[in-house]
A and B are shown apart, each in its own frame.
Chain A
Amino acid sequence: AQSVAQPEDQVNVAEGNPLTVKCTYSVSGNPYLFWYVQYPNRGLQFLLKYITGDNLVKGSYGFEAEFNKSQTSFHLKKPSALVSDSALYFCAVRRANTDKLIFGTGTRLQVFP
């Protein structure tokens, strides 16, 4: 069965420091992987996706993610965190050629000034 895990409920980081939000997945076949961000009482916004090709994917707002097939991971990273990055981050996976997107439980990122 498809699944995605975000092992940390919350990540705290000081402004200016690098941040990592972890995601691991389980899916048969080639996965399509996504990161979305949600600000309070709002819908989700797309950050980046991995479909094929280069394992390092760059996305919006300076975020990037690295696809690691051997570790079945797709961790979200940013070299220097901003207070405005504080939000709820969701990892999602879809098996190639299927309709449904499976979301993780979300990780709350708190960036302190």
Chain B
Amino acid sequence: DGGITQSPKYLFRKEGQNVTLSCEQNLNHDAMYWYRQDPGQGLRLIYYSQIVNDFQKGDIAEGYSVSREKKESFPLTVTSAQKNPTAFYLCASSMAGALSGANVLTFGAGSRLTVL
């Protein structure tokens, strides 16, 4: 089945530690996205990538980093600089191109990060 796999599903981190969340897709989608979800705030865009080896900051990129070395993979690192990292993180992908605005996002099941 085609889809997006996020791992781990649950992650606990001590303050001051960096953690990396994995996102892999086999949909042959060009574009990939990372969103953060907090109760009552909806989804906020962290980073997105339209093509391999290129990515752009979203609305809340501070304290996060990404890479896009392969089309299938878009890992997110939550660094110690992120002041409030406890949240539910969602990875998504879509086709890109001239009509990319009309394309639907396919989401992974999410990763819940808790800072102890």
Interface residue ranges, A against B (CB under 8 Å) = 9, 32, 34, 36, 41-46, 49, 51, 90, 94-101, 103-106
Contacts and interface: CB of A to CB of B under 8 A. Distances in A.
Contact of B107 (A41, A43, A104, A106): A43
Contact of A43 (B48, B101, B109): B109
* Chain B interface main SS type: strand
A41 B90 CA distance: 10
B14 to A, nearest CB: 23
Interface residues of B, number: 28
10 contacts: A36-B107, A43-B107, A43-B109, A44-B43, A44-B92, A49-B104, A97-B101, A99-B31, A99-B100, A103-B42
Nearest to B48: A99
B58 A44 contact: no
Interface in B91-106: 92, 98, 100-102, 104-106
B38 to A, nearest CB: 10
* Chain A interface main SS type: loop
B109 A100 contact: no
A84 to B, nearest CB: 19
Contacts of A9: 40
B110 interface: yes
Nearest to A47: B104
B85 interface: no
A34 B43 CA distance: 14
